Amino acid sequence: MTELLKVDKLWAGYGDAVVLEDISFTLEEGGSLALLGRNGMGKTTLLSTLMGAARYRSGTLEFAGKNLAVVSPHGRAHLGLGWVPQERDIFPSLTVEENLTVVACPGPWNLERIYDMFPRLKERRANMGNQLSGGEQQMLAMGRALMLNPRLLLLDEPMEGLAPLIVQELFAIIQRLTEEGGMGVILVEQHARQILPLTRRALVLERGRAVYNGDSETLLRDRALLDSWLGVASH
């Protein structure tokens, strides 16, 4: 398949601090990647580097054949990178529908399709962003990113702090996104055993370095490796 994202010998961090060291991996068009590791190992920094929010230091960073290192964060969104950060960053003073349409780009993801995938958002389309529950805000953040019609969707711990019922709904939605294969997905999540079945590839970070880069299924079967790298997060 066509290569969508290429990261080779990437070094990055914040200010003078180096967080990521010599990271290399690729993702094909429509591919899915589980980005795993204990807290503080560099997962969010990697997503932030892809979006231009962290400091790129050296290495190859290519998206759809273009050098991301010279593209502004705004330009990266226009290239087809969609990001759902941990903070969600929805617009609290806009309605649900305004949140979705204010960033919309032409493509297959439109309001009708978003409301089909997130019925709760349709029910609350006239509510302000700050009137939603945490789970509904997460759905809105995901829906807003999809309205950009990205080629690659970055999800940073989308299930964190949510009620179990909402977590189940979001897992089903992410599974649908990865199985449809219309866009690439990189998913950061603490619960490795839950997300590895949803993705084809896995990358495990340990203190800013990649200690595993391979098939999700292979890693899922190796309990010793999961426990070694991820500890209680693997259960």
Residues 104 and 18 in one domain: no
Domain stops at, among 149, 171, 191: 149
**Residue 232: band (very low, low, confident or very high) from pLDDT cuts 50, 70, 90:** very low
Contacts with 224 (C-beta within 8 Å, 6 or more apart), sequence order? none
CB 159 within 8 A of CB 167: yes
In this structure, the answer to whether residues 50 and 155 fall within a common structural domain is yes
Report how far residue 116's alpha carbon sits from residue 41's, in angstroms, rounded to the nearest whole number.
36
172 inside domain:
no
Query: What's the mean per-residue pLDDT of the chain?
Result: 92
pLDDT (tens digit per residue) in 5-58 = 999 999 999 999 999 999 999 999 999 999 999 888 899 999 999 999 999 999
* Same domain assignment for residues 154 and 230: yes
Q: How confident is the model at residue 234 (pLDDT cuts 50, 70, 90)?
A: very low
Owning domain of residue 44: 1-80+150-161+180-235
Q: What is the mean pLDDT of residues 128-156?
A: 94
Do residues 139 and 58 both lie within one domain?
A: no
Q: CA 130, 78, 183 angle in degrees (round to 5)?
A: 85
> Is residue 223 in some structural domain?
yes
Q: Is residue 73 located within the same domain as residue 189?
A: yes
Same domain, 56 and 156: yes
User: Is 33 in the same domain as 60?
Assistant: yes
Q: Which residues neighbour 17 within 8 Å (Cβ) at sequence distance 6 or greater?
A: none
**Do residues 6 and 101 share a domain?**
no
Pairing of strands 152-156, 3-14: unpaired
pTM of the model: 0.92
Flag whether 175 is in a domain: no
Check residues 170 and 233 and name the one with the higher pLDDT: 170
Residues 55, 117: one domain?
Answer: no
| Pair 226, 219: CB distance under 8 Å | yes
Q: What is the crossing angle of helices 164-180 and 134-147, to 10°?
A: 20
Picking from 17, 154, 34, 136, the residue whose alpha carbon sits closest to that of residue 86 is 154
Q: Is residue 232 part of a domain?
A: yes
The domain total for the chain is: 2
Does 174 map to a domain? no
Identify which of 223, 219, 211, 216 has the alpha carbon closest to the alpha carbon of residue 37: 211
pLDDT in tens, 69-125: 999 999 999 999 999 998 888 999 999 999 999 989 999 999 999 999 999 999 999
Tell me the torsion sign for CA atoms 82, 86, 89, 93: positive
